[in-house]
Amino acid sequence: MEISEKQFGTLSDGTSVALFTVKNECMSFSVTDYGCRITSVILNGRNGERTEVTHGYSTFEGYVYDANYFGAFVGRFANRIENASFVLDGRTYMLDKNDGQNMLHGGFAGWDKEMWQPKIIKESTHAGVRFTRISPDGEQGFPGTLNVSVSYTLDEKNNITCRYTASTDKPCPVNLTNHAYFNLAGSGTIKNHTLKLACTHMLETDAALIPTGKIVPVSGTPYDFTSEKLIGRDIDKACGGYDNCYVTSVYNADDGSRSVPLSEKKVAHVAELVDTVSGRAMTVSSNLEGMQVYTGNMLNNVRGRNGAVYGMHSAICLETQCFPNSPNVRQFPSCVLQPGETYDAVTVYSFSF
């Protein structure tokens, strides 16, 4: 295992931004302390070719102006909160309305634009970087001082393990995820990728993609990926693309209050993505009860890495997370972190090629 560090850019206040690259014999990935982002995942082919399988930018400046959350770490609350507000312990908290009348991915002051403190991890079996940050009480409108730790590591079996932990001094909704965009072909569309999900149900949503509170079966709908299926087969029947939260096997309908701490939830297989042309594959495992499947429906000729142009359906995000809008839906598992508890989420991206 190898890990290297270099300067990636400089903020307007003179702060230096670093880029870390971790390699094994078969692949590499890169992360930066700006936005705690995964900036690159490269898979090495048998004939010496190297294929970049994530969307991103060639330069630091691309991430400064990025509006698509390429590889970003998202918090305090990933996905949407209805009417950009919630009530906790009798008090109403108002958030940013950055998605119509709703809040998306933490609002205008997202963590994707914040600097994080990095620390290199190098063990005999894996290597990577741990990033930490203290989110002050009231940031983004949320209560409590939140201590957050994010680690990204690579092992010799081509697993990228993402671990997110947090603690708070006041009760606070917490929902953390990574927003990497994947295209295992390296270019073109992901319509010829196959996707298989270990998810028999999904969250019903309204026109603004806010969960209604109902958990509905996918069987017999365009949203059914319980058997391997080309993403492009039914994508035009899915309102022009997928942007839906699927329910993983971690979810327990009898555990609506999450009486079992997240840290005690077992990591379960959630998804398998395969490029049918190259045979490259990625599986996703997590201890979270939800996974947002997003097929880049809003990408509109975004100028990306090495001049590449990213259009609609050019990549897919598989964002493991708590249920969206859960602060406002009583029957959903609670996302409220209490003082003395530890938020401890694990997601593993495993690659074969």
Q: What are the tens digits of pLDDT across the range 171-198?
A: 999 999 999 999 999 999 999 999 999 9
Residue 262: pLDDT band (50, 70, 90) is confident
Q: Are 338 and 294 a contacting pair, CB within 8 Å?
A: no
Q: Place 250 in a pLDDT band, splitting at 50, 70 and 90.
A: very high
Report percent pLDDT > 70 for the chain.
97
Residues involved in catalysis: 179, 319
**Three-state SS at 3:** strand
Q: Which residue intervals of the chain are DSSP H helices?
A: 60-64
pTM here is 0.96
For residues 277-284, average pLDDT = 97
Quick check: 146 and 335 in contact, CB under 8 A? no
DSSP letter at 28 equals: E
Nearest in space to 208 (alpha carbons), one of 320, 79, 345, 64:
79
Judge whether residue 210 has pLDDT over 80: yes
